[in-house]
Structure 1
Amino acid sequence: MKRLHQVKDWLMKKMDLPADVLMDLPRITMVGQIHIYIENHRGLLVFSDTEVRLLLKQGQLLIRGNSFVIKTILPEELLLEGTIEQVLFLNE
């Protein structure tokens, strides 16, 4: 496992690839407090107008706020609109 991590690090440096691609990490883009775009998630676990919880490769992503509306949902992408108050990574 350690060797695989070393190879990924080496590839990332030599080929100038972003870490999120090689390490299967989520990419999160926020526009102020009104939009959040999440790529590379593993599924929607909870949705309400005040809370969204997404499954990640390692743990979960919790988004709290109000007036949430899902504008786009694809197998690995989600665009959420509303008033975003908190974004937390949960390790379980």
Structure 2
Amino acid sequence: MPKNLKQRMKSWITNKMELPADVIMDLPRITMIGQLHIYIENHRGLLTFSDQEVRLLLKQGQLLIKGKSFVIKTILPEEIMLEGKIEHVHYLDN
């Protein structure tokens, strides 16, 4: 099945069944509390970590988080909670 058609079908099913897009389309769910905490669900793994940068693998690309004084508060296979001063959150294409 062509990738574009598959994506359109998932989008249509999500709209018709009123399901959250992150569940059907395998998207990350990102919750930020000010600049102090960021909670990311549905990632594919931690690629890099330092006190100023975190890079996570996503199904489609990567998520880059930049800031200061980062500490991982929780890390599970598909979830991570990061604490510190969050300055930038960027999606990177593969």
| 1:60-71 alignment, distance < 5 Å | 60-71=62-73
| 1:1-92 alignment, distance < 5 Å | 1=2, 2-92=4-94
Separation in 2, partners of 1:74, 1:43:
9
Partner of 1:17, secondary structure, is coil
How far off its partner does 1:32 sit?
A: 0.3
Separation in 2, partners of 1:80, 1:10:
33
How far off its partner does 1:4 sit?
A: 2.3
Unaligned runs of 5+ in 2: none
Separation in 2, partners of 1:80, 1:41:
13
Give the count of matched residue pairs.
Answer: 92
Separation in 2, partners of 1:16, 1:63:
30
How far off its partner does 1:18 sit?
A: 1.0
C-alpha RMSD of the superposition? 1.0
How far off its partner does 1:76 sit?
A: 0.3
Write out per-residue CA displacement over residues 4-43 of structure 1, whole angstroms, 9 at most, x where no aligned residue. 2232122212211011111111110100000000000000
Separation in 2, partners of 1:84, 1:37:
12
